[in-house]
Amino acid sequence: MAKIWQLMEKMPAEVVSTNSQYSPVLLQLLFNRGIKTPAEVAAFFVEEFFSAEYLKRYDPFLFKDMAASIDLIVAHIKGGEKIMIYGDYDADGVTATAVLWDTFRILGAKVDYYLPDRVTEGYGMNKEAIDKIAADGYKLVITVDTGTRNWAEINYAQSLGLKIILTDHHSLPENPSEMPQCLFINCTNQAEAYPFKTLAGVGVALKVVQALVSRSKLTDDQKQYLVERSLDLVALGTISDMVPLLGENRLLVKKGLEVLNRTKRLGLKELISVAKIGLNGVKLDSWNIGFQLGPRLNAASRLGHANNALELILSTDQVEVTRLASELNQKNIERQEITANIMALVEKDIDPKNVPAIIISVCDLAYDTKTEGVIGLVACKICEKYYRPTLIITRSQDGYKSSGRSIEEFNLIEAIEESCEFLDKYGGHPAACGFSVYEKEKLDKFIVKISTIATAKLAGLELAPKLRLDAILSPQEIDLTLMESISQLAPYGQNNPQPKFASYDLTIMDIVTMGAGGEHIKLRLADGSRSLWAIAFFKKKEFADLTIGQKVDIAYYLDLNNFNGKSEVQMKLIDLIKK
């Protein structure tokens, strides 16, 4: 599907005049990410994890319930009381659980963890798990990456005599009566003085660790070591959960990548090995986490139980981590195969020339927990490919379950709420949703209603993916100095993507195919006296009709090509328009 190119707003002249020590291109990239004033620019480049400025600005005790929570944790550690960490089954929840368990164990706590099953229990706390925790003699439950919407379950747990500390990063309920009545640490809470509101669940868990360690009698070096040793996990969870990679998140991930690249955790080293990354001294970056390590951790709960991912992270037994890493790698391969099979099934019913306003596919397969675990991935891929809101529906234990993804022109949760009379459970936000319905008749009525809503709301709109470009460059501007300048934005991620550029009216000077089957293509592109190589992976067929001398407009990333000890800048093509 053809993309709509959108050039970001040009920064005002005063941004350059007040930040003259930085290049105009770098300032434009920062402006595109909402970083405009001299103070914001300075903070982006100067702040470092564990600096005095960082420790003051992001003091964990700015959370109003942090001091009381640490007092309660210390009392339970000193009293030898059993502590349960109640997490979530995704990579953020798994790493957050590991961060607390690991630190508590080092500090002498009697600690264990509980992760719910993705399919049989679903997201959040449940009374059956709480009953078991209480029956097993635990006195304190600390949630990570979950609990904010579980006010009823928390009240129930407290009625059994359990103490609760809730740590989370999910949005608060609109109804004040549904706010959890316990010690509550949530970065999204606007009533909190803590300045950074978009930490991942693992980031909030780290704040608890920072606060707890600061109250210990360890030396300053020991305290710093205890906090920094968690940052590999913080980077994993933060990137995997796709929270904005700016502000404190960027600082945590930047330092976390350093820790990850020298990690001593046997499980992470084995997972990196089976993923075949980090070879020949190549440093892992945020892309490796988001597309290679994170999916393998998430595969545990999609096709089994998240405990396998957590045990991999925490284990100190080489035989065990070898087995678990191999198992997660295999589950990830299986997950990819199942996703591809369901994609093919869904696409059989889609006419590319007449795509409906909303794509709804009922995969009426026999109930299979593995299918249920990947429908969100299928919805995401279909939504991206056809640029339509998408609902993928499959059989569940008690009826039907759906996962949905949407486009910026269509608020999915609003449409779901307009149609909720036919649903038994639902939740989500404008870009994603999930729901359950028990009866086929109700499902059919729901499909009719939401299809009508989508058709009306999207009528007359040009529905095509938007390619947002940071700046226009000419080949004369592109060199190693520019590459070094823009690389200061890394690590890249949500809200801080790798910069995308456009160049117009370039001439093709040479065409070369690459790869074992010649599936990749390289173009030598010129504008006047300056030329650069541009590489397009798996695009040979798409660009088969390109000819030397032809004019093209291109959208691209900038990348370094290191060969025979020499580095040169090349373009990685995102899109190309033939003239």
Where in the chain are the domains? Answer: 58-260, 261-337, 470-578
Write down the pLDDT at residue 120: 86
CATH code that applies to domain 470-578: 2.40.50.460
Mention the CATH class of domain 58-260.
alpha beta
pLDDT tens-place values along the chain, 579 residues long: 789 999 999 999 999 999 888 999 999 999 999 999 998 998 888 778 888 888 899 999 999 999 999 999 999 999 999 999 999 999 999 999 999 999 999 999 999 999 999 888 888 899 999 999 999 999 999 999 999 989 999 999 999 999 999 999 988 887 888 899 999 999 999 999 999 999 999 999 999 999 999 999 999 999 999 999 999 999 999 999 999 999 999 999 999 999 999 999 999 999 999 999 998 888 999 999 999 999 999 999 999 999 999 999 999 999 999 999 999 999 999 999 999 999 999 999 999 999 999 999 998 777 777 888 899 999 999 999 999 999 999 988 889 999 999 999 999 999 999 999 999 988 888 888 989 999 999 999 999 999 999 999 999 999 999 999 999 999 999 999 999 999 999 999 999 999 999 999 999 999 999 888 888 999 999 998 889 999 999 888 888 899 999 999 999 999 988 877 788 999 999 999 998
Which burial class, exposed, middle or buried, applies to 96 when counting CB atoms under 10 A from its CB (0-12, 13-18, 19+)? buried
Cα 523 from chain centroid (whole Å): 33
Distances (CA, A) of 164 to 73, 160, 172: 10, 11, 17
Cα 431 from chain centroid (whole Å): 14
Distances (CA, A) of 412 to 9, 213, 427, 433, 441: 28, 42, 10, 7, 22
Write down the pLDDT at residue 364: 77
Rounded Cα–Cα distance for residues 11 and 4 (Å): 21
Q: Which amino acid is at 83?
A: I
For the chain, state the CA radius of gyration: 25
Parallel, antiparallel, or unpaired: how do β-strands 530-536 and 566-578 relate? parallel
**Angle at which helices 294-302 and 369-386 pack, to 10 degrees?**
130
* Dihedral sign computed on CA atoms, order 453, 376, 152, 242: negative
Strand segments, DSSP code E, in 303-370 are: 359-363
